[in-house]
Structure 1
């Protein structure tokens, strides 16, 4: 028989536009509840017996509540302490001091000096300004691919580490983890714990990655500028090549329809919870008559009223964003593809099979084919195997 009193783990309560976010930080479990639901939860967490809390709710709000369902929901969220379960304690947060230092006034001065000096250098020396040709920092195409691949991982870790530091500065137990997008292995920072602080304190952790990229870009430009005295050597050219790829990644963060960092900034400012999913459902509902569109019943979705109101506008942003993406690809990415293709064709057509340029182009093409053809095929094969494999029988 269920006890009349429930014991709860420490919970956080953060007001939002459409309700109050209740969370348990150590378990990364959060839910948005209406004010009456939070009031009921506070009564239960304060030690009020379940039957008395039900009567209090009826007297206060003039309607009944399904207490069994409410309590079950709180258990599923792991807000309720199970019998014999120890009381949750705040998790230890490493890098708290480093996070505070990374965003101290002195650090901001350093960041501004680096970025400002880089702008001055690019104004005075046009060869430092971002250009697609900078990517080809050595004659070998294979060397370009391998060199940039080796530099991307530290650059991405730098971006994600600043997300983590900005959250750890607030004492939040965020963490970095390995994830996958399509068949690429990526590093991601979990920022769910931001739901335990007011919205105005979430913006810096969300934009910290962009700040890190801007500082890295400035530092790379300055490193190349220091190498200009005797003409750019390969380290200086490599710095400009990596700087160009950093700038590309920074531009991608503004494609809010792809749920980038700036998407979460926008949804936080608008007070939304799942604007992207609602907007996509809205578009599928409107264009469901097309044969290649899987229709969604937008009217029946369980979404917040604010998400519903803003979904048509964000759907326009999504459509416009696809156009902007195509334009930026044409301006920034297409020149890279064109230059790569021109060099490969020239080496294969005009080069000698006994020359190094010929086999360098062959190896480079094989690497591209492995990444764009073989890897997707292998990933699809693994996914189909997992889909066909029977689910394990439940234990017990």
Structure 2
């Protein structure tokens, strides 16, 4: 792109951009307001430093040429910042930066939309910091360890797909299960946002797709402005919450199975449903190939920048020829990404196998029961009767769950096309 008002005399407004050293010769350059970050060489960080000091484009080019011994296209660099979403054209031309107008929908740049941060992101850090201190994390880990011990001691506590049905009425069971699961999913994401707020990072909640699953996702792009060590707590916060809920669901059933307490049968089944939900969520987060919470932890720990795409393309080229653009991505990939991808691809393939197993052992059996019951009711019940409408409702529910990931995939592809245009 070319910005008509940007020339040698311009003084781009870059003072609001964050510059942080990431590696020996790499720097993270980003705009915390829009959540957009890029990695630049040391020369790029020096360029921003000079612009922030008030130098014009021509002065910066002259200083850098003297320091580096070769010419630097400052105008092209500033235009790149605009394309990356770190600056808008007014800021590039030297106007005072205002409120962030737009941000990319995700790392692939799928369309643009107004920045809308949830109220939770405005919570002062001191309010939520106790939830993520040493004592809190000791509690979270303790809940997970205690739960694993109870699972080992009593295998009957392990979940089964049948646990999704709390009562004999399938429609009511699915209603209860889905309301509870969705409610816990929202709190899971809010816990990510709380941890982000504790670290001083704003957040945004959105609907996304991971493989065949429809998921809620907390956008914490601002974490990339923080040192790696400060990112782990927000990344793991959702799993910490899930571990507490899992412990709360397993402990009463463990005590009940040993006759220590008395529980109503419906409560036992409800707790079993919670166990199924939370085990599924925690297992899902370990599927790094879907860019889940554990993927972010692993990418941060290894210092990778584009591990998922590099791994996917390295596997894809074994099956069919890559496009010129894909070949260029692999050719220009960071050395760390290429090195880690050699073993990460094993986790990638294992994740695909796990998802297939989960579908065969949980999704399809549950769908078979649901659709079988619905079809039986619709055939046997009088048309327009209560049970007939229950069957219709179940079919609609199943269709929504099956088609939601496809709808989101189409939405993302359309946004990508609009962004490319």
Same fold (TM over 0.5): yes
* Greater shift in the superposed pair: 22-31 or 314-323: 314-323
Residue by residue over 1:348-384, the C-alpha shift from the partner in whole angstroms, topping out at 9 and shown as x without a partner, is 49x9759x9986984575245433567689x49x969
Task: Tell me the distance in 2 between the aligned counterparts of 1:211 and 1:275.
Answer: 25
For residue 24 of structure 1, the aligned residue among 4, 23, 31 is 31
Task: Tell me the distance in 2 between the aligned counterparts of 1:309 and 1:295.
Answer: 22
Q: Please, what TM-score do these two structures have when normalized by structure 1?
A: 0.79
The DSSP-based 3-state class of the residue aligned with 2:199 is coil
Task: Tell me the distance in 1 between the aligned counterparts of 2:201 and 2:244.
Answer: 24
For residue 219 of structure 2, the aligned residue among 185, 190, 196 is 190
Task: Mark the CA change 1:82 to 1:49 in structure 2 (over 3 Å): closer, same or farther.
Answer: closer
Partner residue, 1:299: 327
Residue 179, structure 1, aligned to residue 207, structure 2: yes
For residue 46 of structure 2, the aligned residue among 35, 39, 63 is 39
Q: What's the RMSD between the two structures over aligned residues? A: 4.1
Instruction: Determine if contact 2:304/2:336 at 8 Å carries over to the other structure.
Output: yes
Task: Mark the CA change 1:259 to 1:166 in structure 2 (over 3 Å): closer, same or farther.
Answer: same
Task: Mark the CA change 1:59 to 1:137 in structure 2 (over 3 Å): closer, same or farther.
Answer: same
Residue by residue over 1:193-217, the C-alpha shift from the partner in whole angstroms, topping out at 9 and shown as x without a partner, is 0111111111111111111111111
Residue by residue over 1:242-268, the C-alpha shift from the partner in whole angstroms, topping out at 9 and shown as x without a partner, is 221111111111111111111111111
Task: Tell me the distance in 2 between the aligned counterparts of 1:168 and 1:298.
Answer: 37
Residue by residue over 1:15-74, the C-alpha shift from the partner in whole angstroms, topping out at 9 and shown as x without a partner, is 224611011212323221001221122122122333232222222222111122123234
Task: Tell me the distance in 2 between the aligned counterparts of 1:306 and 1:45.
Answer: 31
The DSSP-based 3-state class of the residue aligned with 2:19 is strand
- Count of aligned pairs between the two proteins: 378
Residue 243, structure 1, aligned to residue 252, structure 2: no
Task: Tell me the distance in 2 between the aligned counterparts of 1:110 and 1:311.
Answer: 34
Task: Tell me the distance in 2 between the aligned counterparts of 1:193 and 1:221.
Answer: 36
Residue 96, structure 1, aligned to residue 125, structure 2: yes
Q: 1:102: how far off?
A: 0.7
The DSSP-based 3-state class of the residue aligned with 1:188 is strand
Residue by residue over 1:108-156, the C-alpha shift from the partner in whole angstroms, topping out at 9 and shown as x without a partner, is 3543554455456556665434333332221122222111111111110
Instruction: Determine if contact 1:140/1:360 at 8 Å carries over to the other structure.
Output: no
| Pairs within 5 Å for 1:215-364 | 215-224=244-253, 229-288=261-320, 295=323, 298-301=326-329, 302-330=332-360, 333=363, 336=366, 340=369, 344=373, 348=376, 362=391
The DSSP-based 3-state class of the residue aligned with 1:22 is strand
The DSSP-based 3-state class of the residue aligned with 1:286 is coil
Residue 134, structure 1, aligned to residue 160, structure 2: no
The DSSP-based 3-state class of the residue aligned with 1:8 is coil
Partner residue, 1:13: 19
Partner residue, 2:180: 151
The DSSP-based 3-state class of the residue aligned with 1:64 is coil
Q: 1:286: how far off?
A: 3.1
Task: Tell me the distance in 2 between the aligned counterparts of 1:222 and 1:304.
Answer: 46
Residue by residue over 1:274-313, the C-alpha shift from the partner in whole angstroms, topping out at 9 and shown as x without a partner, is 1212222233333225xxxx75654322543433444444
Q: Please, what TM-score do these two structures have when normalized by structure 2?
A: 0.74
When Rg is computed on C-alpha atoms for both structures, the one with the higher figure is 1
Task: Tell me the distance in 2 between the aligned counterparts of 1:66 and 1:20.
Answer: 19
Instruction: Determine if contact 1:279/1:314 at 8 Å carries over to the other structure.
Output: yes
| Pairs within 5 Å for 1:63-74 | 63-74=70-81
Instruction: Determine if contact 2:12/2:93 at 8 Å carries over to the other structure.
Output: no
Q: 1:226: how far off?
A: 6.6
Task: Tell me the distance in 2 between the aligned counterparts of 1:237 and 1:129.
Answer: 13
* Greater shift in the superposed pair: 189-198 or 28-37: 28-37
Which blocks of at least 5 consecutive residues in structure 1 are unaligned? none
* Greater shift in the superposed pair: 65-74 or 361-370: 361-370
Residue by residue over 1:80-118, the C-alpha shift from the partner in whole angstroms, topping out at 9 and shown as x without a partner, is 4655535779x9831522320111344335435544554
